[in-house]
Amino acid sequence: MIVNVPAAALAALLLTVPASEHLSRLLIGRSVEGRRIVAVELGDPRSANKLLVVGCVHGNECAGLAIVRALERLRPPAGLDLWVIENLNPDGYAADTRQNAHGVDLNRNFPWAWRPLRGIYYSGPRPLSEPESRIAYHLILRARPRISIWFHQHERVVDESGGDIAVERRFSARVGLPLRRLPREPGSAVGWENHRLPGTTAFVVELPAGSVSSGDAVRYALAVLAVGRPRS
């Protein structure tokens, strides 16, 4: 089985194969500057067991892109409907800025515990003022994921984000990052999800600084699939 292959060897193999045949791409909207924001659905769309992964939300914290691209080359376990937003902030990524093209921190723009913030964490003029935030908001309410994982940098920690701590603990153990509660930020995506969809678990993974190697990308991708696998 694929999970028994060493991560480094599997990573080398994945670089030579196309994305999974069980993959559907959907244009879900455009950024402030008109760049495409794409969602990828893999696995069983009929399953109620849905998992969402967001590779990049802050434009200068995008090591998670390597992980979502690895995910797109793996077959999800039976009974899992996996949704991936590769890059929610393509304008920030192009400009190498945390914020979107309006200067808004998208992770302070969601409608739970939102408050006006200025400076680097500018939260926008109102909740969901930004097209990128609205895109994620509508997809989440449509898919209603049981688990959501949002990749950030650079603190090297899995955040106890307010959902099921057992899910966060399993992921933490699989990837070898400590589990720790970070401050609850106003207007955060995971804060809104855990409030809006009770009984689900959305959490932040703070990757280490720098890029993610191909081997580590596969290791993280396999951990995503492991926590998403239906529990017997």
Q: Taking residues 183-190, report their average pLDDT.
A: 97
> In the chain, what are the domain boundaries?
2-143+217-228
pLDDT in the model for residue 3:
44
Instruction: Supply the pTM of this predicted model.
Output: 0.91
Q: Are 128 and 145 in contact (CB under 8 A)?
A: no
Q: Comparing C-alpha atoms, which of 152, 161, 151 is closest to residue 221? A: 151
Residue 1: the pLDDT is 36
pLDDT grade for 230, boundaries at 50, 70 and 90? confident
pLDDT exceeds 80 at position 60: yes
pLDDT of residue 209: 94
Please, which pLDDT band fits residue 66 given cuts at 50, 70 and 90? very high
Q: CATH class for domain 2-143+217-228?
A: alpha beta
Pairing of strands 36-43, 23-30: antiparallel
Tell me the C-alpha distance between 153 and 145, whole Å: 23
